[in-house]
Chain A
Amino acid sequence: MNTLVLTVLTLGVLGILLAVILYFVAQRFKVEEDPRIDDVEKMLPGANCGGCGFAGCRAMSEALVNRDNIASLFCPVAGGDTMKTIANLLGKVAPDKEPMVATMRCGGTCDKRPKVNHYDGALNCAVVNTFYVGESACAFGCIGYGDCVDACKFGALKLNKETGLVEVDADKCTACGACVKACPKGLFELRKKWPKNRAIYVACRSKNRGAVVMKACKAGCIGCGKCAKVCAFGAITIESDLAYIDHEKCKLCRKCVNECPTGAIKIENMERLPKEPKVAPAVKSETKAEENK
């Protein structure tokens, strides 16, 4: 009986004592935190992808709550609407951003870009990039070991074994930008997301001269400049033998697609313009006639 009482007493006193200590410690080291941070964090996707530039969603929420001007903060995964809701909650002005999508800019499929050597090292694009150009003769093309696929947290990228290229699922892509960082060849770009996932872009990053490109890959941009000439919106520029379509200026008119002799300009979820072979000479003769005048 005595033992029992003693045990209960000891443990009871010990418990109370520790509780008191814990209470004071908790008071002393209490971290004052804005409760809104938790609310904001709940509204963010919680993928901790780093697409916003912060280490994770928590860090982003803290920045959103603590900064006065949040115009530069944007969660590409949550998108514009969620950002607006968050801004309303915090009484701040939300950044105005259009939805974006990652675009893989290489069209060098296995049949168009022949392999000239056999890679035998670790199956990782960054490893390949440490010492040579890759299995094809093109130094700019997709290596095809899927560093970007590993980096994508949303399952939006897939390696197509048949073409040897990575494909983007625009519906799953959140434009977090992880692939842009992961690709050692810099093939990814975040471009404006059109309705119905329509897109037009130059699927080539080769800065080599036309003759060199042709030798390495049948689908490469040779920098001929035909697309730039035909573009009515001045969206296409040619720099170091490579065409680039500015997605801010492009109106998806599709004229450039038909002009491209190598098919380097890719068109997605849209029909090509019907070919009008007879019109072309007519236009030419007209301009000539004009010149003659």
Chain B
Amino acid sequence: MATRIFAAPSPHIHGGESTRRIMGDVVLALLPALAVSTYILGLRVLFITAVAVLSCVVFEYLINRLFLKRKSTIGDLSAVVTGVLLAFNLPVGIPWWIVVIGALVAIGIGKMTFGGLGCNPFNPALTGRIFLLIAYPVQMTDWTTGVPDALSGSTLLADVKYNTSLLSEVDFLQMLGGHMNGSMGEIGALALILGGIYLLWRKVISWHIPVAVLGTMAIFAACVGLGKGGELVYQLPLFHILAGGALLGAIYMATDYSTSPMTHKGMIIYGVGIGLLTMIIRLWGAYPEGMSFAIFIMNAATPLINKYCRPKRFGTK
């Protein structure tokens, strides 16, 4: 073998980070939550997740090859992440064909129309979920179908929204472990937190967005609780963080790279915005859950935040 001299401008080494590794890490971080969900809600969780992932990957492949006439980008695993996140935002009893439609909207409209990974202004999985929520409201809020020992018809968030006194009956330990109604991925709070710690450790995400979102929600809820008095001061914040899609949204959806701001300052503003909007929708809006809409709205504000939140230039005060 002869010596071949390579030439390139510096730097000549690379840190080894890759899109694929990052996406793989996100999938890995979501596995504990998937396991908890499967344990509680049954094997159908795996089926729905598989349908979502498969259709996302297939749609991305087809759109790339047939419409965009370019090399397939499924190797970066981002479609897999979108698929898992979409599934995590659906109730377990949802018919499989609705999942496929959701995947088509997520990948087709949410991602590929804007040019694919990195160009999408809105989180693709959320685009899919919000579309389904509006198009199939009944199926999307049916928490009983497919659940082995049918718990109740509505989520805790919805129950508490109209009757705060129910809070005293809530078992927070159980919420942490995963016994509550909700979308497939929302219910294992502890598992979601574990995955989040993994992502932080792997430096896939930084702490700014999750902490800003959850912190804002907690403070907001505490203020509301203070107004109502009693034990609500600490019950309400704890409840709002553990219930619904707060953890899933704050750790996995809001931190989506292309739809969140680039600087730490921007991330905090973005996170605070999501927290505020979520609480406003949850407490006074028409929907019991506001995470998706809050993230969606703040996604739209991201370019603006990027424009005004520049990093601090070295040597300036």
Contacts and interface: CB of A to CB of B under 8 A. Distances in A.
B1 interface: no
Interface in B76-104: none
Chain A interface main SS type: loop
B5 A121 contact: no
A197 to B, nearest CB: 33
B9 A118 contact: no
A119 B5 contact: no
Interface residues on A, range: 10 to 19
Nearest to B12: A120
Contacts of A120: 6-8
Interface string B3-15: 0111111000000
A118 B5 CA distance: 6
Contacts of B8: 119-121
Contacts of B4: 117-118
Interface string A99-143: 000000000000000001111111000010011100100000000
Nearest to B4: A118
Looking at B6, B7, B8, B9, the one whose CB has the most chain A CB atoms below 10 A away is B7
Interface in B1-30: 4-9
A117 B5 contact: yes
Nearest to B5: A117
Contacts of B6: 117-120
Chain B interface main SS type: strand
B117 to A, nearest CB: 20
A130 B6 CA distance: 16
Contacts of A118: 4-7
Contacts of A122: 9
Nearest to A135: B7
A116 B5 contact: yes
Contacts of A127: 9
Nearest to A121: B8
B9 A117 contact: no
Nearest to B7: A117
A116 B30 CA distance: 49
A124 to B, nearest CB: 10
Looking at B4, B5, B6, B8, the one whose CB has the most chain A CB atoms below 10 A away is B8
A121 B10 CA distance: 9
Contacts of A130: 9
A131 B9 contact: yes
Contacts of B7: 117-121, 132, 135
A121 B9 CA distance: 6
A130 B4 CA distance: 22
Contacts of A121: 7-9
Interface of B: 4-9
In the complex, the 3 A-B pairs of residues with the closest C-beta atoms, listed nearest first: A121-B8, A120-B8, A117-B5
13 contacts: A117-B6, A117-B7, A118-B5, A119-B7, A120-B7, A120-B8, A121-B8, A121-B9, A127-B9, A130-B9, A131-B9, A132-B7, A135-B7
